[in-house]
Amino acid sequence: MQQWLPRGWRRMPALPEPVWRATVEAQPFLRNLSMPELKRLERLCRHFLLEKAFYGAHNLVVTDAMALSIAAQACLPLLHLPGPGQPDLQSKPWHSLDWYDDFVGIVVQPDAAVAKRKVTDASGVVHHYRETLAGEAMQGGPVMLSWAEVARAPWAAEAGSNVVIHEFVHKMDMRGTTRGQTADGAPDWSNACLGSLKGAPARAHWQATMNTAFEAFKEALNMSERFGADKPWLDAYGATQPGEFFAVTCEAYFVNRQRFEQEFPSLLALYDSFFKPEALNR
């Protein structure tokens, strides 16, 4: 019955200390958190695990440790973030989980999934193809994750990669979109940005900054592929569309901040303004 109560009314036991400690120790980007941050993350995870349902595909058994690992990575972007429409983190501190309130199910595949796709080109010709997926966030529906990819998180962090953060940031970006509408890499801007901007001006600032970084990333990738220049640090998939660029860069922002600052200084300030607004107002 606890899951039906408002979060502030719930009385839940702490997570088993050995499992929680092992979860934190496994991920370099969690080990760097302060004690207050870890306490907040642990509580967010408790609510997250109560509200979400895990389903193992192809006879995969999702253990408590696996579910907690996914929960900790999924909740990391919410650590300093107010809920959608909330003025600050202090007013309703657990409403940051409302960013994920449009779904319940998390489907965990043992390995990458193969999805059948169908697209119609400009001439009206229908093309059928198969796409291999490490994860997928479905608009208004569940999140799918490959456990093999999730398990790589401790080593993938050096390359700025994290499939859980990627898919859950997509969920944040999808808020307010209608079915079939593509997320554009500019999440809900009802909260303050850069201390003074909010609403439409904040969104305009966000889109201008993101577009400049996106175009520079595409150009760097083009120079690498055509002329042998150094490959960009992050996954080339980020060049496919603004929504994917947002998700790919958010992965790096959360798991390898030091390298991200070197590669994307303008995005570091932008993402801090969104994901860490309380620090901005100190």
Residue 103 has pLDDT above 80, yes or no: yes
Q: Which long-range contacts (CB under 8 A, 24 or more apart) does 233-237 make?
A: 233/159, 233/160, 233/259, 233/263, 234/159, 234/160, 234/161, 234/263, 235/161
The tally of domains found in the chain comes to 1
The predicted-structure confidence for 197-235, as pLDDT tens digits, reads as follows 777 788 888 999 999 999 999 999 999 999 999 999 999
Instruction: Please return the burial class of 257, using the count of CB atoms within 10 Å of its CB with bins 0-12, 13-18 and 19+.
Output: middle
Residue 13 has pLDDT above 50, yes or no: yes
Average model confidence (pLDDT) across the chain: 87
Residue 118 has pLDDT above 70, yes or no: no
Q: Identify the residue whose tokens are 């995969």.
A: 60
Domain membership of residue 87 as a residue range: 2-280
Q: What is the pLDDT of residue 258?
A: 96
The residues near 82 (Cβ < 8 Å, ≥ 6 apart) are 88, 89, 91, 92, 95, 96, 191, 277
Q: What is the pLDDT of residue 282?
A: 42
The answer to whether the beta carbons of residues 90 and 41 sit under 8 Å apart is no
Q: What is the mean pLDDT of residues 91-101?
A: 82
Provide the percentage of residues in the chain whose pLDDT is more than 70: 83
CATH assignment of the domain containing 201: 1.10.472.150
Q: Identify the residue whose tokens are 């860069």.
A: 249
Residue 182 banded pLDDT, cuts 50, 70, 90: confident
Q: What is the mean pLDDT of residues 28-50?
A: 95
Q: Which long-range contacts (CB under 8 A, 24 or more apart) does 181-186 make?
A: 181/139, 182/241, 182/243, 183/243, 183/246, 184/242, 184/243, 185/210, 185/214, 185/241, 185/242, 185/243, 185/244, 185/245, 185/246, 185/247, 186/210, 186/242, 186/246
Residue 188 has pLDDT above 80, yes or no: no
Q: What is the pLDDT of residue 200?
A: 79
pTM of the predicted model over 0.85 = yes
Instruction: State the pairing for strand pair 113-120/126-133.
Output: antiparallel
Residue 85 has pLDDT above 80, yes or no: no
Output the DSSP codes for 178-224. PTTPPP-S-----S-BTTTB-HHHHHHHHHHHHHHHHHHHHHHHHHH
Q: What is the pLDDT of residue 128?
A: 47
Residue 191 banded pLDDT, cuts 50, 70, 90: low
Residue 124 banded pLDDT, cuts 50, 70, 90: low
